[in-house]
């Protein structure tokens, strides 16, 4: 099978959740013997030097990058506001990207074109015009839901108004886009339920998967009071969640347990975090090897208050045999059971309860970590997920052929 991936950012390197989710399916299909081609946006927000891409990766994926200027600009943002269009989506419309996409479609026929995120959906009509492939939308999130939740958290009335408008226009585009493709691969069961209600098109829930060789054989013992968070801070829900945690939760946790330590890793650390914001906090920024960083700590912290989709950082931590403490929003999309394979904490007393458990009953926390590891084995094995996707592709192609398109 020949599959063209059209991506809102490069799937390489694996520095963020989105690229990791794309790469898991791309390399899973390559591993299964299918022909893959990748066309991706390159931008200031997630910039990749083409010369730094390994030759074997380019050979196996045919990765090509087209630069788009995705920086937020006041005048285009105001124009989108006045025209009631989604500024999130408008930034991705590019003649250069369209031209390269059309040339690729003319040079090679494809069985499937997979759109990675709704932000590349403006190119659906170009694909229809130049290809007979089925079009699958891989929905990494319910995108408008992220902005609705951030609007609810905003205290400034003007900011709340603008975020609400961004959410409304994105929701309108998102609902229209899902009815223009041939199938939707949602990243969680909850997201899949939303899309099934929004369209008559077939929907599959297909979470992020971990390759078998990346899953630990067993959960390591708890070795100290070391919590960690890893995530790019240019994604607003990450920064918003961490600010809430450090303002409202961490001071009391650290007062009760002065030896407790929290290490933050990830790209684009804001100035307010770099300046030694709280006692017991260490900010290391971007790390060369995320897996080594995870393995050097005990418990993953995911304190999100907005967002959608699935938190890949949770699956990664579980695959490494680490316990996870997360808000219910942070854990959304994971097939979890509280206190069995994850610990859910939404309020201060929940976090206090977990830290008491962490410090006095490390064996119980180790059991939670083992439960998370089993969850990854059972539900997030990438080979099984790719097999499900291939069946979904085949069914979509059969449906498209039956209507003569």
Helix (H, G, I), strand (E, B) or coil at 35: strand
DSSP conformational letter for 285:
E
- Secondary element (H or E) of residue 176: helix 157-178
Q: Which residues contact 165 (CB under 8 A, 6 or more apart)?
A: 81
- Residue identified by tokens 């285009």 is 76
Domain ranges of the chain: 2-209+381-402, 213-379
Q: pTM value? A: 0.82
Quick check: 254 and 260 in contact, CB under 8 A? yes
The whole-angstrom separation of Cα 72 and Cα 362 is 46
Q: Which residues contact 60 (CB under 8 A, 6 or more apart)?
A: 27, 30, 36
Q: How far is CA 299 from CA 144, 238, 261, 377, in A?
A: 30, 17, 11, 19
The whole-angstrom separation of Cα 22 and Cα 27 is 9
Helix (H, G, I), strand (E, B) or coil at 139: strand
Q: What share of the chain is helix, strand, coil (3-state, %, to 5)?
A: 50, 15, 35
For the chain, counts of helices (H) and of strands (E)? 17, 13
pLDDT in tens, the chain (405 residues): 999 999 999 999 988 889 999 999 999 999 999 999 999 999 998 999 999 999 999 999 999 999 999 998 999 898 898 889 999 999 999 999 999 999 999 999 999 999 999 999 999 999 999 999 999 999 998 888 888 888 888 889 988 988 899 999 999 999 999 999 999 999 988 899 999 999 999 999 999 999 888 889 888 887 767 999 999 898 888 999 999 999 999 999 999 999 999 999 998 899 888 776 688 999 999 998 999 999 999 999 999 998 767 788 999 999 999 999 999 999 998 999 999 999 999 999 999 999 999 888 989 999 999 999 999 999 999 999 999 999 999 999 998 887 655
- Residue identified by tokens 């939404």 is 346
- Choose which CATH entry (3.10.450.50, 1.20.1370.20, 3.40.50.2000, 3.40.50.620) describes domain 213-379: 3.40.50.2000
Sheet containing 134-139, strands listed edge to edge, beginning at the edge strand earlier in sequence: 64-67, 35-42, 2-7, 112-116, 134-139, 183-186, 203-205
Helix (H, G, I), strand (E, B) or coil at 137: strand
Q: How far is CA 92 from CA 26, 47, 77, in A?
A: 22, 15, 13
Neighbours of 244 (CB within 10 A): 16
Domain 2-209+381-402 belongs to what topology?
Answer: Rossmann fold (3.40.50)
pLDDT of residue 17: 85
Task: Retrieve residue 220's tokens.
Answer: 């390591």
pLDDT of residue 123: 98
Angle at the Cα of 364 (from 360 to 370), degrees rounded to 5?
A: 145
First to last CA, the chain: 18
The whole-angstrom separation of Cα 83 and Cα 72 is 17
The whole-angstrom separation of Cα 357 and Cα 245 is 19
Q: Do domains 2-209+381-402 and 213-379 have the same CATH topology?
A: yes
Task: Retrieve residue 396's tokens.
Answer: 């979509």
List strand residue ranges (DSSP E) for 140-272, in order.
Answer: 183-186, 203-205, 226-230, 261-265
Cis peptide before 13 (omega within 30 of 0): yes
pLDDT of residue 404: 57
- The distance of Cα 138 from the centroid of its chain, to the nearest Å, equals 11
Quick check: 227 and 257 in contact, CB under 8 A? no
The whole-angstrom separation of Cα 390 and Cα 242 is 38
78, 84, 90, 93 alpha-carbon torsion, rounded to 10°: -130
């Amino acid at each position: 099978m020949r599959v063209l991936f059209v991506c809102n950012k490069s799937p390489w390197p694996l520095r963020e959740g989105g690229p990791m989710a794309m790469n898991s399916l791309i390399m899973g299909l390559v591993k299964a013997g299918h022909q893959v081609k990748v066309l991706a946006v390159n931008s200031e927000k997630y910039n990749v030097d083409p010369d730094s891409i390994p030759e074997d990766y380019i050979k196996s994926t045919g990765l090509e990058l087209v630069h788009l200027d995705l920086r937020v600009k006041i005048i285009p943002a105001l124009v989108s506001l006045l025209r009631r269009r989604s500024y999130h989506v408008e930034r991705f419309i590019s003649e250069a990207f369209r031209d390269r996409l059309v040339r690729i479609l003319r040079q090679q026929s494809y069985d499937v074109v997979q759109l990675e995120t709704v932000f590349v959906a403006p190119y659906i009509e170009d694909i229809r015009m130049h290809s007979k492939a089925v079009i699958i939308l891989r929905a990494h999130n319910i995108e408008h839901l992220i902005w609705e939740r951030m609007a609810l958290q905003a205290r400034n009335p003007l900011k709340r108004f603008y975020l609400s408008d961004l959410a409304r226009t994105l929701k309108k585009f998102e609902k229209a886009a899902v009815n223009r493709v041939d199938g939707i691969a949602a990243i969680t069961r909850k997201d899949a339920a939303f899309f099934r209600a929004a369209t008559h098109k077939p929907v599959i829930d297909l979470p992020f998967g971990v390759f078998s060789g990346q899953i630990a054989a067993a959960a390591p013992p708890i070795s100290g009071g070391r919590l960690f968070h890893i995530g790019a801070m240019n994604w607003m829900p990450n920064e918003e969640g961490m600010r809430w945690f450090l303002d409202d939760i961490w001071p009391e946790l650290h007062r009760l347990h002065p030896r407790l330590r929290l290490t933050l890793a990830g790209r684009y650390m804001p100035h307010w975090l770099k300046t030694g914001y709280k006692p017991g906090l260490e900010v290391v920024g971007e790390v060369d090897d995320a897996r080594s960083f995870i393995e050097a700590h005990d418990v993953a912290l995911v304190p999100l208050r907005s967002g959608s989709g699935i938190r890949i950082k949770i699956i990664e931590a579980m695959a490494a045999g680490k316990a996870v403490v997360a808000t219910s929003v942070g854990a959304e999309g994971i097939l979890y059971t509280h206190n069995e394979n994850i610990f859910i904490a939404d309020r201060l007393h929940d976090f206090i309860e977990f830290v008491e458990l962490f410090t006095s009953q490390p064996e119980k926390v180790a059991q939670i970590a083992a439960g998370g590891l089993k969850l990854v084995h059972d539900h997030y094995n990438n080979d099984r997920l790719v097999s499900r996707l291939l069946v979904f592709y085949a069914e979509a192609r059969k449906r498209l052929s039956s209507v003569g398109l």
